[in-house]
Structure 1
Amino acid sequence: MHKNEIMEKQVALRYNQPLQQLNRIAKRPPVDIEFQDLTYSVRDSYTGSDWRQLLKSINGKFRSGELTAIMGPSGAGKSTLLNILAGYVTAGVKGSIKINDRPRTMKVFKKMCAYIMQEDIVQPRLTVKEAMMYAAKLKLGSEIRQCEREAVVLEVIQLLGLEKCYETRSEFLSGGQRKRLSVALELVNNPPVIFLDEPTSGLDNFAIKQCMELLHKITQLDRTVICTIHQPPASLFQNFDQVYVLANGYCVYNGSPASLVPFLARANFPCPSTYTPADYIIEIVQSNPDTISSLNNIIQNGKINMMIKDKKELVMSSVFGSDICEIYNDPIQTGCNNDQDILFPVSVWSQLAILLSRTFLQMRRNHSVITIQVLHHFASGILIGTIFFQLGNDASQTLSMFKYILSVNVFFMYTYVMVPVLIFPLEVKLMEREYFNRWYSLKAYYFCFTLASLPLMILCSVMFLTLVYILSDQPMDMNRFLWFSAMGISVGLTSQGLGYLIGSFFNITNGSVVGSSALAPLLALACYGMGYKSGIEPFMKVIMCFSYLRFGVVGFSATLFSKREPLNCNDLYCHYRNPELLLKDMGMQGEDYKMQFYIILGYMLLFRVLAYCGLKYRLTSELSNKIVYFAAKIVRQKE
């Protein structure tokens, strides 16, 4: 049957049998999230000593099959609560969080939930179909057949109304379509809980309506959908099943939207007819701090849930009553059958293969970047080769060869340090959502972008090195040329590793400053001592070892000048006709270019390991928050 006919047939069955294939392949039970006496404290960044409570012993329960909105004014703690419930923040949190009346286990819970962040960042240069298929390969496991993955992808796409843009690349999607694609990518493995941070921000009214319809469709599948929203319009406010309002870290309302007006009237804050209930409660808690205490006492900081019974009577029921959903004793409660499933559905090597396939497809379509890199290497090779044209075998121009060697080093240094510094933070931002939602491990991603950049980098580098080698009239010795190329590529890879290291710790603005500032002393140390013979101070020799460019300069010099026939001399006397004498005067006599190459590779490994550690620290908020929290706790105890 043709693919379009399959899609049309499934569209007709979409509402009668939603996600039938997905529920069969990745069945998940409903999940209720309950929290009691939840408190979150952070150290004041201004005073450095005081602790500030962002959440203050709040309570609540968010049920499956309901669309819950966390509301409140700016700074109320909406995103903080969402981040804590999603497991994005764990350090500094006190109180209990239960899943189906059992204590939450983070390793298990992360497998059960999806967190869709405010920015609709999706992988570029992929069609909706391709993005969904890669998500299915990563999230459904290797035991699922290809035809089953395709069936699941079609079901999810149809549920979210993305059929018309099935073959459209992500950069050409509208804001609403991109939001739906973000949700579709996370629905592929049928998560029981979905968190959304400000899902309606940046959307027009029509797109907001589509977004809300989408979220309601998801809740009808017994999913728990929780989102933050600032001040929804009246038409949007009534679409929520439950509203949880925060103010200054306290819960001031917990219940259905229809119950809010009667609740405010009972609390002696009647809502004027000219106000929408959502706007009014946010306005009164902002204008009068005493209102927060009054509303908080009535709602008992979230322990009470307000609802309308039979559309007439306002009922106050305990959140922690007997209506808690049943406790699942089967391991399927978690969606995991063993420890490997808890980590990732597919192995690290399978993740790497899938990510490499996706990355190479994106790179192949990114024609502008490929063209710029090729032209940059070609033009730079022609320029440097022309500046030092046919000077490589001229004994009267031997000192110019050091400028030539420095030029080659500087080219590789700036080209491969600054590109990752400027691009890598954007790559991390793209990857953050996928990594937190457990698509793949950080190791697989790190190996992927390390390996994916090698083919183009090596090809362009060899082109550049061939041009500068031939145009400068270096010896036509294959072994010498191969080591010259190996030295240049190793300096480029090490510079790239340094760029990744800087990019993993800093954003683009700060990284560009740090990168350019770090390169100046590295280059100065690389040139230090030229002409000193063996008279370089011992402590400076130690300091010079901290510059990998120094080993590049020595390695290039030894490669070009060691064990070489006397150079051509067109003058009456050429002092450096014997290249070994030049190496002696430059303090490089006896240096082995192979050893320089191995040391540069050592720096490359060091920079890449440190970049991995920096990336893990930056992405794993649990780790970084815990380090900051425990460090502050130790300081506080000493005080």
Structure 2
Amino acid sequence: MGPSGAGKSSLMDILAGYRNKCVTGDILVNAKERDLRKFRKMSCYIMQDDHLLPHLSVDESMMCSANLKLTEKMSMEDKKLVVEEILSTLGLMEARHTRTNNLSGGQRKRLSIALELVNNPPVMFFDEPTSGLDSASCFQCLSMLKTLAQEGRTVICTIHQPSAKLFEMFDHLYILAEGQCIYQGNVQGLVPYLSSQNLICPAYHNPADYVMEVACGEYGDMVPRLVVATKHGKAEQFQKIKKFTNCEKVQHDLKESDLTANGKASSVGDGNETATNQSNGHLVTKVNGQGAGCDTTLLSKETDGSDNTALKLPATSDHDISQDSSSDEEEVECHTFATSCLTQFKVLFVRTFMSIIRDTTLTRLRLISHLTVGILIGLLYLNIGNESSKAFNNAGCLFFCMLFLMFTALMPTVLTFPMEMAVFVREHLNYWYSLKAYYLAKTMADMPFQIIFPLVYGSIVYWMTNQPSDFLRFVMFLTLSTLTSLVAQSLGLLIGAATSLQVAVFLGPVTAIPILLFSGFFVTFDTMPKYLQWLSYASYGRYSFEGVLQAIYGFDREPLVSNLKEQSMFMFHSGEDVLKELDVENAKFYIDFIVLVGFFILLRLACYLVLRWKVKVH
């Protein structure tokens, strides 16, 4: 607990293993150095913001979590029973068929917790679990966390300023101010400790409010003094540690508001559970090794289907979470997860495909825009494809086709991908799935739509504008149209993965400007200054435009139709004349095709590497 900027979230990130850069000191689990990979597999981190996929229902989200986090040996019926029990426990049964974007704040918070409860992690981290909730929802949320702790889990959470009722629910308190600890111990010892430091909490005043006022300096600069007192163990004399042997005793004492922390049933543990040696910078964390002895149901069963209870940490938890010198550092990424890469891919593919289908921006609006603009362009350039006097107009039509396909693929991806990034980071760092499985599923799920839409648009424009009635040329035109769309989408994925939403919205159109300028339509290649011609080779728009012109006017096309009534200085007798005028007579269709495929592969690979870098940064 502590005021804003005290370092609560930073400490939580370090403890949960989400932040490793620029951090000194040691983190010990059960008196041994922490193996970060194994620790993160046995823990989960529920962040302050509820990042959920908006187009999935509660039940669908839970089943995706169950299929990814529970072993493949477990039957589907057992997984459904686990999901139903969790939803029932958290009060989400009535909303199980509601999409997450229609849930209330409290329901979203409970769903975020439910998603991580599927595999019953023994250690759970919560960053501001009551943020954005009303008083009733806050009490329900913390009561649920208290129940989870009583069942044998270790629950650690940050909280900003709880009410007195909520404050008394915690077993162990660690107060931060200006990045340093000013008190650690049980809640009951806080007021006597402050009194010993000449800080008298007024009667009927919330101790949580009072200590926050102290930390903020309302009673003078007391923080350095409290830091020194805590470092010298002045708070230890106010700790009253009692031992409990079963759930009934814990619940009885809880009703009397006299529950003190112990290693078997606590939210964080007793006064020795989390200790900071501020003189040497060592952070020591002990994880409960026993459950509370409660009877459990399917929710409590080990995820591999055995009869052991997952609520109780294994007897070998020291080995499981601590550093293992014999562990294979070259272990394949997918093998560190509960399911295989193939299973992860299948679950993520179905989930991503369903989200795209239900997303009106990514499906219906895109389809309508391709149909509408295709018909509009077809009417505007109606039957000009074979007329010699309108070859330049036809070239403009072909260029606009590539331009439209470029922007309709780029912008939706730039807008939606950054919003999915938060979900991906949370799920990946909580060991749901590997980066490879996610990226492959994301790529493959959107591929059908990214192919169908350009085919629909290109078919309308090609025949309405009366381009050559040659099936091979038609296929070549559609191929380059589809490739242009795929390359633009790949660029959008890269921008979205590398930047935030605000930056991506700006960079998307900006990056398209040089691509269009150096495409060869506004300024031909020979007309460009020598020192800028190299930029033309980096523009995938150039290869799209060149390839389309070759498909329409190249390969010994039959003579163009000349309209004697409309004589013009730009009368072209053959397709070769048009290619020479546009300075693309030496272009090769197969080279343009290969280069566009290369752009597609290169951008997809770059996006994967950026995602990998982002995960490591976290």
TM bucket, shorter chain: 0.7 to 0.9
Greater alpha carbon shift after TM alignment, 114-123 vs 125-134: 125-134
TM-score by length of 2: 0.83
| Cα distance in 2, alignment partners of residues 154 and 508 from structure 1 | 36
Distance (Å, rounded) in 2 between the aligned partners of 1:402 and 1:125: 41
1:472 maps to 465
1:381-402 deviation digits (Å, cap 9, x = unpaired): 0111111110000011111121
In the superposition, relative to structure 1, how do residues 404 and 312 fare at CA in structure 2: closer, same or farther (>3 Å)? closer
Does the Cα contact within 8 Å between 1:252 and 1:302 map onto a contact in 2?
A: no
Unaligned runs of 5+ in 2: 243-257, 261-269, 276-283, 290-313
- The residue number in structure 2 matching 1:581 is 577
Equivalent residue number for residue 22 of structure 1: none
Correspondence for 2:605 among 591, 605, 609: 609
Of residues 412, 415, 424, the one that matches 1:422 is 415
Q: Is 1:291 aligned with 2:291? A: no
Q: Which residue of 2 aligns with 1:276?
A: 206
CA shift, 1:188, in A, is 0.6
Q: Which residue of 2 aligns with 1:188?
A: 118
Note the C-alpha offset of 1:201: 0.9
* TM-score normalized with structure 1 length: 0.81
Asked whether 1:388 is paired with 2:381, we answer yes
What is the alpha-carbon root mean square deviation over aligned residues?
Answer: 2.8
SS at match of 1:403: helix
Of residues 366, 387, 400, the one that matches 2:393 is 400
| Alignment of 1:100 onto 2:51 | no
Equivalent pair of 1:253/1:302 in contact (CA under 8 Å): no
Task: Give the structure with the larger strand fraction.
Answer: 1
Paired residues for 1:544-623 under 5 Å: 544-562=536-554, 563-571=556-564, 575-622=571-618
CA distance in 2, matches of 1:124, 1:513: 24
Further displaced range: 566-575 or 386-395:
566-575
Note the C-alpha offset of 1:197. Answer: 0.8
* 2:231 is the alignment partner of 1:300: yes
Q: 2:61 aligns with which of 131, 148, 173?
A: 131
Partner amino acid for 1:516?
P
Looking at structure 2, the residues matched to 375 and 200 of structure 1 have their Cα atoms a distance apart, in angstroms, of 42
Contact kept? 1:530, 1:587, Cα under 8 Å? no
The corresponding residue for 1:143 is 73
Contact 1:530 1:586 in 2 (8 A): no
Change in 2 beyond 3 A, CA 1:608/1:362: same
> Which segment is superposed worse, 373-382 or 342-351?
342-351
Q: What displacement does 1:620 show?
A: 2.9
Structure 1 counterpart of 2:406: 413
Q: Give the secondary structure class of the aligned counterpart of 2:44.
A: strand
Q: 1:94 to 1:581 in 2, by over 3 A?
A: same
Amino acid at match of 2:375: I
Are the equivalent residues in 1 in contact too, given 2:495–2:504 (CA < 8 A)? yes
Q: Distance in 1 between matches of 2:524 and 2:106?
A: 65
Q: Which residue identity lines up with residue 472 of structure 2 in the other structure?
A: N
Aligned-pair CA distance for 1:363: 2.9
Partners of 2:147 and 2:610 in 1: how far apart? 40
For residues 239 and 322 of structure 1, the distance between their equivalents in structure 2, rounded to whole angstroms, comes to 21
Query: What's the % identity of the aligned pairs?
Result: 35
SS at 1:244's partner residue? strand
The equivalent residue for 2:478 is 485
The answer on 1:263 being equivalent to 2:250 is no
Tell me, which stretches of 5 or more residues in structure 1 are unaligned? 1-70, 623-639
**CA–CA separation in structure 1 for the residues paired with 2:169 and 2:523:** 75
Q: Tell me whether 276-285 or 230-239 shows the greater mean CA deviation.
A: 276-285
3-state DSSP class of the match of 2:155? strand
User: In structure 1, what is the Cα distance between the partners aligned to 2:318 and 2:19?
Assistant: 26
Moved more, 601-610 or 237-246: 601-610
Match of 1:80 in 2: 10
Distance between the aligned counterparts of 2:287 and 2:562, measured in 1? Answer: 93
Letter in 1 for 2:239: M
Alignment of 1:534-549 (within 5 A): 539-549=531-541
Is this contact kept in 1: 2:410–2:488, CA < 8 A? yes
Report the CA distance shift for 1:447/1:323 in structure 2 as closer, same or farther (over 3 A). Answer: closer
Contact 1:254–1:302 under 8 Å retained in 2:
no
Aligned partner of 2:267 in structure 1 is: none
SS where residue 122 of structure 1 aligns? Answer: coil
CA distance in 2, matches of 1:91, 1:303: 32
Residue 202 (1) aligns with residue 135 (2): no
C-alpha distance after superposition, 1:548-573 (max 9, x if no partner):
10111100100100120001101267
Deviates more, 1:204-213 or 1:582-591: 582-591
Are residues 598 and 190 of structure 1, via their aligned partners in 2, closer, same or farther at CA, if it must alter by over 3 Å?
Answer: same
2:428 equivalent in structure 1: 435
* Counterpart contact for 1:101–1:324, Cα < 8 Å: no
What's the CA shift for 1:291?
1.1
CA contact 1:116–1:197 (8 Å) conserved in 2: yes
Matches of 1:478 and 1:464, distance apart in 2: 16
Is this contact kept in 1: 2:2–2:160, CA < 8 A?
yes
SS in 2 for 1:380: helix
Query: 1:548 is aligned with what amino acid?
Result: Y
Q: 1:566 to 1:210 in 2, by over 3 A?
A: same
Q: Deviation at 1:367?
A: 4.8
How far did residue 430 of structure 1 move?
2.5
User: What do the CA deviations read for 1:193-221 (whole angstroms, capped 9, x no partner)?
Assistant: 11111100111111111101110111022
- AA aligned to 2:198 is N
Per the alignment, residue 462 of structure 1 pairs with: 455
Alignment length, in residue pairs? 550
Cα deviation 1:141-184 (Å, max 9, x = unaligned): 22222122122222222322322223333223222122111111
Q: Are the structure 2 counterparts of residues 342 and 526 from structure 1 closer, same or farther at C-alpha, using a change threshold of 3 Å?
A: closer
Q: Relative to 1, partners in 2 of residues 1:518 and 1:366: Cα closer, same or farther, differing over 3 Å?
A: closer
1:420 to 1:366, Cα distance in 2 relative to 1, 3 A: closer
TM-aligned CA deviation for residue 323 of structure 1: 9.5
Q: Secondary structure at the match of 2:157?
A: strand
Task: Note closer, same or farther for the CA distance 1:317–1:207 as it changes in structure 2 (3 Å cut).
Answer: closer
1:237 paired with 2:202, answer no
Q: Does residue 1:366 correspond to 2:296, yes or no? A: no
Give matches, 1:508-523, under 5 Å: 508-523=501-516
Distance 1:604 1:303 in 2: 64
The more displaced of 555-564 and 589-598 is: 589-598
Report the CA distance between 1:244 and its aligned residue: 0.6
| 1:384/1:285 CA distance change after superposition, 3 Å | same
Q: Which amino acid letter does the alignment assign opposite residue 148 of structure 2?
A: I
Q: Deviations over 1:352-397 (max 9, x none)?
A: 1110111222333335642211110001101111111100000111
2:46 aligned to which of 105, 109, 116: 116
